[in-house]
């Protein structure tokens, strides 16, 4: 099949849940009305419309209505069913357009890249209209880091009496000679020139939308996908509102006082009472929409009601909610200017005078810096001086929370899909770690696309398609027009890709090969590389084969990622194994891992041999073995080292017999060890 055939192929929808389809058919035959109560967003509306279409096949005259709720609570559900609305077919068409566009782009581009790279089967290389621009952000940031050239600079500090440390007002000295001459010319007395105080106010945070929630969850150690998975569970269990939202303004219909009052009993009692005593004016973010409110708690709970990670996410949502209803945090900020000789120095202090929202939201920390009592004109002895040489640092890699924010800003993906895109990057072995580091395969894919078809790697393309989908929901475009426009764009992309397919193949295959190199062979000095056997087994082998047969085994399952961490003893790169739905397994150095496995296997064999020796002693049968095992004697050596009298009391066996068995056990053990 030609790649372009996939671009223009007819999209056929085939149900996978036959039992659900059958149930909808059967129920639809006799029903007068069907009520759609799926999640109210593009994806949810599409699911509802698909269910409606199935029911209509059995009963073309069936009526339909739509209920919308953002929390699985009795009141919200009853209220929504009392005033149902109409099904939003335009919103569903928008969701369907996204499905079709993503399928077309993903199928055609993934097939091209995978076949060109020779990477088929489970380890295929995927490309997508959102995935690829997102991966490009990570690769481009890594290039910035690699190209970064650190610049040296110097800072000057002085330690004064009263336990006061001050810094030269200039901050960074870019000229080392100037820094050293300034440092050497400092006197022994510091003069307090001025003291200025002012009040600083920290506003409470805005309510959680999906992006802010994922970012905050990332800050306490949760991946984007795991945070959303737990949030979905909390929602369906009735503990929080719908977690997929772009709204940062609480609706006027939400009774905030009543909701806070539900937390007066339980672990958030003190915080809830503090909030209720205040003005309780909610903060407002920059985004407002009418589909769903911000994420907020809908019911009080305790740690006993859920698992550990579920509680952490629930607590985060509760504390954010309470923080948005709290007063500001207030600080006294002190700016002290000093002079040591003719050189200006400065000390900054901050003291919290009102905790405000920070009392219930410990995730955003701001440390106090308390200065001693000082007076203008006061002189302080210089107890020590320090000239510190430093270097500028490269830009940092993207953590998952930060990447989700950037995707949001650039219009890449939606609130419902961004965490899934990041998960795909890990699953395809394009990135590893958090913050995310791209693999050589990721480099090869993005560099090939940026060089020969940059449209795929730029956010402008996917943003334009997203705007088209929004226009479908707003009745300004129809679904067919948006899909055909995407096909036309993809045709142009393939004009470039097919023209440079040979160059792309060379680039991809080299990147894939580099990602398989684990280290240098200790036997012949050539490369150790990940290989696959004839029957599908995987191992590390030497490129010097058949002259060198040095090999190491690898696990049968999971995506193998060669990290940049190196074993000091063997000089081999550490390996990470990714299995879908499971935590990554850091296997570490393959040689160390193999040696540990062999040692463990030898120890197990030794223990088994000792157990077998115990069973060979005349007079020890299965029942006696059971009694000895219950008393802690499981091997011949255990028996030799036991106190006969004590063992007799524990087992009810004769001391004389035990003593004779000990002599026999010692003899067998010596024979087995070759003594």
Domain chopping of the chain, boundaries:
3-87, 96-146+396-509, 152-203+329-391, 210-324, 516-588, 598-673
Q: H-type helices in 237-294, by residue range?
A: 256-261, 269-277
Whole-number pLDDT of residue 516? 86
Encode pLDDT of 483-531 as tens digits: 999 999 999 999 989 999 998 888 888 888 888 889 899 888 899 998 8
For all residues of the chain together, what is the average pLDDT?
90
Provide the pairing of β-strand 152-160 with 63-66: unpaired
Mean pLDDT confidence for 464-472: 88
Give whichever of 18-27, 72-81, 310-319, 419-428 has the largest mean pLDDT.
310-319
Mean pLDDT confidence for 399-427: 92
Q: Is the pLDDT of residue 287 over 70?
A: yes
In angstroms, the CA 83 to CA 76 distance is 11
Catalytic-role residue among 40, 242, 314, 398: 242
For residue 435, whether the previous peptide bond is cis, meaning omega lies within 30 degrees of 0, is yes
Give whichever of 102-116, 204-218, 469-483, 563-577 has the largest mean pLDDT.
204-218
Is 566 or 634 the better-scoring residue by pLDDT?
566
Structure-token pair, residue 210: 């999906």
In angstroms, the CA 101 to CA 129 distance is 9
Q: Return the CATH architecture of domain 598-673.
A: Orthogonal Bundle (1.10)
User: How sure is the predictor about 610, in pLDDT bands with cuts at 50, 70 and 90?
Assistant: low
SS3 385: strand
Q: Bridge-partner residues for 387, per DSSP?
A: 156
Q: Return the CATH architecture of domain 3-87.
A: 3-Layer(aba) Sandwich (3.40)
Residue 242 annotated as catalytic:
yes
CATH 2.70.20.10 fits 152-203+329-391, yes or no: yes
**Percentage, residues of the chain above pLDDT 70:** 98
User: How sure is the predictor about 611, in pLDDT bands with cuts at 50, 70 and 90?
Assistant: low
Q: Is the dihedral of CA 356, 361, 364, 367 positive or negative?
A: positive
CB neighbourhood size of 22 (10 A): 12
Structure-token pair, residue 530: 């990940």
276-280, 349-353, 395-399, 634-638 — which is least confidently predicted? 634-638
Provide the pairing of β-strand 379-391 with 152-160: antiparallel
pTM for the full predicted model:
0.82
76-85, 271-280, 397-406, 622-631 — which is least confidently predicted? 622-631
Which helix or strand (DSSP H or E) is residue 608 part of? Answer: helix 590-616
Q: Return the CATH architecture of domain 96-146+396-509.
A: Orthogonal Bundle (1.10)
Encode pLDDT of 347-382 as tens digits: 999 999 999 999 999 998 888 999 999 999 999 999
- Asked if residues 529 and 516 have their Cβ atoms less than 8 Å apart, the reply is yes
CB neighbourhood size of 327 (10 A): 19
Q: Is the pLDDT of residue 431 over 80?
A: yes
In angstroms, the CA 242 to CA 232 distance is 8
Is 636 or 447 the better-scoring residue by pLDDT?
447
Which helix or strand (DSSP H or E) is residue 268 part of? Answer: none
122-126, 174-178, 236-240, 595-599 — which is least confidently predicted? 122-126
Q: Judging by beta carbons within 10 Å of its beta carbon (0-12, 13-18, 19+), is residue 376 exposed, middle or buried?
A: exposed
Q: Return the CATH architecture of domain 210-324.
A: Orthogonal Bundle (1.10)
Q: Bridge-partner residues for 462, per DSSP?
A: none
CB neighbourhood size of 278 (10 A): 12
In angstroms, the CA 614 to CA 632 distance is 13
Whole-number pLDDT of residue 272? 96
Whole-number pLDDT of residue 364? 84
Q: Is the pLDDT of residue 1 over 60?
A: no
């Amino acid at each position: 099949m030609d790649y372009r055939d996939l671009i223009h192929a007819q999209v056929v929808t085939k149900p996978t849940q036959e039992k659900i389809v059958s149930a909808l058919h059967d129920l639809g035959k006799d029903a007068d009305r069907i009520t759609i109560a799926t999640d109210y967003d593009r994806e949810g509306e599409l699911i509802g419309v698909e269910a409606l279409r199935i029911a209509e096949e059995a009963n073309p005259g069936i009526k339909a209505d739509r209920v919308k709720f953002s929390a699985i609570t009795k009141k919200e559900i009853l209220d929504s069913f009392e005033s149902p609305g109409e099904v939003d077919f335009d919103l569903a068409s928008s969701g369907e357009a996204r499905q079709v566009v993503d399928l077309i782009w993903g199928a055609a581009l993934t097939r091209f890249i995978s076949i060109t790279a020779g990477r088929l089967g489970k380890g295929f290389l995927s490309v997508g209209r959102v995935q690829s621009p997102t991966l490009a952000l990570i690769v481009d940031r890594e290039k910035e880091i690699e190209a970064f050239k650190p610049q040296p600079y110097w800072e000057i500090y002085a330690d004064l009496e009263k336990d006061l440390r001050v810094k030269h007002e200039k901050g960074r000295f870019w000229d080392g000679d100037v820094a050293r001459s300034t440092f050497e010319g400092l006197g022994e007395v510091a003069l307090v020139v001025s003291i200025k105080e002012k009040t600083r106010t920290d506003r409470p945070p805005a309510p959680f939308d999906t992006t802010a929630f994922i970012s905050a969850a990332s800050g306490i150690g949760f991946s984007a996908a795991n945070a959303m998975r737990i949030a979905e569970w909390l929602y369906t269990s009735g503990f929080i509102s719908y977690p997929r939202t772009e709204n940062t303004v609480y609706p006027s219909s939400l009774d905030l006082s009543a909701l806070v009052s539900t937390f007066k009993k339980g672990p958030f009692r003190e915080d809830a009472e503090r909030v209720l005593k205040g003005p309780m004016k909610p903060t407002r973010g920059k985004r407002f929409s009418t589909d769903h409110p911000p994420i907020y708690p809908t019911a009080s709970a305790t740690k006993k009601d859920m698992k550990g990670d579920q509680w952490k996410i629930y607590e985060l949502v509760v504390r954010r909610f309470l923080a948005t209803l709290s007063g500001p945090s207030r600080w006294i900020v002190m700016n002290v200017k000093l002079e040591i000789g003719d050189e200006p120095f400065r000390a900054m202090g901050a003291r919290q005078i009102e905790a405000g929202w920070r009392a219930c939201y410990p995730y955003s920390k701001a440390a106090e810096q308390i200065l001693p009592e000082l007076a203008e004109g006061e002189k302080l002895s210089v107890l020590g001086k320090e000239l510190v040489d430093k270097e500028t640092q490269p830009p940092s890699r993207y953590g998952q929370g930060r990447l989700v924010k950037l995707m949001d800003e650039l219009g890449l993906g939606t609130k419902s899909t961004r965490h899934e895109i990041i998960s795909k990057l890990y699953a395809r072995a394009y990135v590893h770690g958090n913050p995310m580091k791209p693999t050589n395969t990721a480099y090869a894919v993005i560099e090939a696309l940026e060089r020969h078809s940059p449209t795929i790697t730029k956010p402008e393309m996917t943003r334009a398609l997203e705007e088209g989908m929004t226009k479908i929901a707003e009745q300004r475009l129809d679904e067919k027009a948006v899909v055909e426009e995407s096909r036309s764009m993809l045709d142009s992309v393939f004009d470039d890709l097919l023209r440079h397919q040979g160059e792309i193949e060379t680039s991809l295959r080299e990147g894939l090969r580099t990602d398989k190199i684990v280290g240098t062979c200790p036997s012949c000095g050539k490369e150790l590389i990940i290989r696959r056997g004839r029957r599908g087994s995987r191992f590390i082998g030497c490129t010097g084969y058949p002259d060198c047969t040095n090999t190491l085994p690898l696990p049968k399952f999971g995506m193998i990622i060669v990290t940049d961490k190196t074993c000091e003893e063997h000089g081999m790169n550490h390996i990470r194994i990714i299995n879908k739905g499971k935590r990554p397994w850091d296997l570490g150095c393959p040689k160390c891992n193999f040696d540990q496995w062999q040692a463990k296997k030898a120890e197990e064999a030794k223990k088994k041999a000792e157990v077998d020796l115990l069973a060979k002693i005349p007079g020890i049968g299965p029942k006696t073995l059971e009694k000895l095992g219950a008393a802690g004697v499981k091997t011949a050596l255990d028996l030799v080292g036991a106190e006969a009298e004590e063992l007799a009391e524990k087992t009810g066996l004769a001391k004389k017999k035990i003593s004779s068995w000990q002599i026999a056990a010692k003899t067998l053990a010596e024979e087995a060890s070759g003594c």
